Structure 1
């Protein structure tokens, strides 16, 4: 059955439900996706959204973490929470016959989260421990430093999990305020799939929505990349240099030209072997095991990023090569053969992207979230198929802003 968009009308709201029936296994999954509620909202304390997601994984205050987990395990029910950049997601998975019970558990969690000093202390300890262990993960360090360089002065400059200092500062009232503001029905998109009738699913979900606070939807801020090109070098006890680079990419998430950006970036650095960066940096010069570049385009930001690791004594040459490859790419565009090979890969690999129900649900969710019509992804593939070399190269040359590269480097 194809994925469809349904609606639940209650409490003066029209809550969208993305649904796909799949009877191959007696399983049901459901997600409550809260918009404009991810780490981009961490304006005062970095890591608060992810911290709050962990709190929602600590069971109800009535039962506590262990007893709530045991009550789920006895019925083979899974409930988890996570925070992305722009969304906060709570997920339920269960056997078909346990769907009603799973939603009762889920509803009790929404009504009575484990807001306790004990839960806060536990999460602080585990989070600070995890952050401490990442101090020597130089990919993590360089990646976060690049965010700080590109988005200085905005929430996107902060590590999504926060810093040791910011996590220490999070208190119970901060999490309570986050949940009160963000886990509300006015921000909600529901995603459901599995061996269940759509009307039964909607009836069960409506009961939960009716008990939720309505709250209010807010507009999502948009953050431009810092206009000042800069370089940040962090000195660590390392045997390799970690080179992360990024630049503005002036294209919106709903642009009609997004498919061109997808093709162009694949050729430049997303496509692995055969991509410009990999070919020049690894194959021809042997400067790194791998080198990548990709474009991140969302409602709240748009930029290009890339990375590589290299020997300490070849850092300068590797960095120079990145700049040269990108400059040549913008100046001269791509070849007919590169375009044809990219088309073959993107079109040929498409079936692998929609093999599972979760992949199809996620694709439909992203189409809906971006305000696109259902089936937009299929139309995009047709546009890629018909893309002319001249049009692609004109697009590439029009985005000279990717030459304005900033670097974050971890070296000895």
Structure 2
């Protein structure tokens, strides 16, 4: 289980640990439960997939724990089970991440297994083919899943010819072309110290952590070999992309250019997004689309700040004959916020919710470690946890209206639909 924690106490207890080998991590010591949780992130991800081989980074993340050093895939997993070690890896558009959690008494074994996974993966043929088949099965499912299909269609139109427009999990055509050499080449290019961010929470002190971190990360290459990715704005605002599928209910995605995570108006934009569709029960979209008209069970919006682009983004699912009506209401609400901003009452409710719910990001050791990494990746400063709620509380109506104009612009959005929407 994850260790329970008191989130309000952690911002002031973050220690910046720099090892003799030059590896940096943020640490929160917590001896409530004899566990250590580690999260890390390395820049790169599927945006670094070689031309013609989408899915390479995701494939790599899926096989890092499938045998390493002296251990075959079966032996590696048996050892993780023997010592009750959690370990997993993932790749998204902009990065490759890892998670490790262990009992303190098995700390040495856990860090050693992490070292082997990152520095001595085996990429045995049998393991590669098994994992490849699993990913291909997932892709076949996604090819017939409306939510997966609509997300893929949206990004293909928004980012044509850009790495963000490629399928991160790969395709049935690309997966068979990705071999051991491709995976090892990507590992050597991506997994390096210069983009490494680490967060650790648990029953370990700074000196002990420094030694463990050096054993895992100090031997990595000093600098990643990243292919430059162009900064772009999403395209297609004001257009519709319909993928025909014989289903009674359409899946919808909509969005347009957003705002950078490092923009001074990011916090006001978060508040405005909550007013639009980020709030579960208090948002305009929930009230107008679900409560008043019963058009959909779920409707949502979010801000998606990627490394090389930014979106405001949302979605819903509704009956084919009501897609046009639903989108008309969603676009009306976006335009209304862009022109007039939120009301004072909406602003007050959004600030209170965002402040009150922030603690939910820190109720387990793993969540805290993940937040430590996220704050480093976004370069927000080690005191951000202490400052964040104050930044939200300080958002004025003028700030919110300015952010709404900037994020939602003229109110036009790209809309992708999978289904048979009538009148769209």
TM-score with structure 2 length normalisation?
A: 0.90
Deviation at 1:220, TM superposition (A): 6.1
1:274 to 282, 300, 315: 282
Aligned partners of 1:248 and 1:402 also within 8 Å: no
Distance across 2 between alignment mates of 1:73 and 1:133 = 29
Aligned partners of 2:342 and 2:401 also within 8 Å: yes
Instruction: Tell me if 1:244 matches 2:253.
Output: yes
Which residue of the partner structure matches residue 156 of structure 2?
Answer: 148
Aligned partners of 2:257 and 2:407 also within 8 Å: no
Aligned partners of 2:290 and 2:296 also within 8 Å: yes
Which residue of the partner structure matches residue 6 of structure 2?
Answer: none
Distance across 1 between alignment mates of 2:60 and 2:390 = 41
1:204 to 209, 212, 217: 212
Deviation at 1:63, TM superposition (A): 2.5
Q: Deviations along 1:207-234, whole A, 9 cap, x unmatched?
A: 3334333343646653321266432111
Once the two structures are superposed, the pairs formed by residues 124-273 of structure 1 within 5 Å of their partners are: 124-216=132-224, 218=226, 221-226=230-235, 229-249=238-258, 251-273=259-281
Instruction: Give the superposed CA RMSD.
Output: 2.0
Instruction: Tell me if 1:38 matches 2:45.
Output: yes
Say which is worse superposed, 370-379 or 178-187, in terms of deviation. Answer: 370-379
Distance across 2 between alignment mates of 1:60 and 1:364 = 28
Aligned partners of 1:186 and 1:217 also within 8 Å: no
Say which is worse superposed, 209-218 or 119-128, in terms of deviation. Answer: 209-218
Distance across 2 between alignment mates of 1:224 and 1:180 = 30
* Unaligned runs of at least 5 residues, structure 1: none
Aligned partners of 2:199 and 2:372 also within 8 Å: no
Say which is worse superposed, 210-219 or 232-241, in terms of deviation. Answer: 210-219
Instruction: Tell me if 1:8 matches 2:19.
Output: yes
TM-score with structure 1 length normalisation?
A: 0.92
Deviation at 1:43, TM superposition (A): 4.5
Q: Deviations along 1:62-113, whole A, 9 cap, x unmatched?
A: 4211112112222222222211322212332211011112222222333321
Instruction: Tell me if 1:301 matches 2:326.
Output: no
Q: 1:390 to 1:208 in 2, by over 3 A?
A: closer
Distance across 2 between alignment mates of 1:147 and 1:227 = 10
Distance across 1 between alignment mates of 2:26 and 2:321 = 52
Q: Match of 2:416, SS?
A: strand
Q: Match of 2:160, SS?
A: coil
* Unaligned runs of at least 5 residues, structure 2: 1-9
Once the two structures are superposed, the pairs formed by residues 12-411 of structure 1 within 5 Å of their partners are: 14-34=22-42, 36-44=43-51, 45-60=53-68, 62-216=70-224, 218=226, 221-226=230-235, 229-249=238-258, 251-401=259-409, 403-411=411-419
Distance across 2 between alignment mates of 1:273 and 1:111 = 47
Aligned partners of 1:248 and 1:404 also within 8 Å: no
Aligned partners of 1:39 and 1:155 also within 8 Å: yes
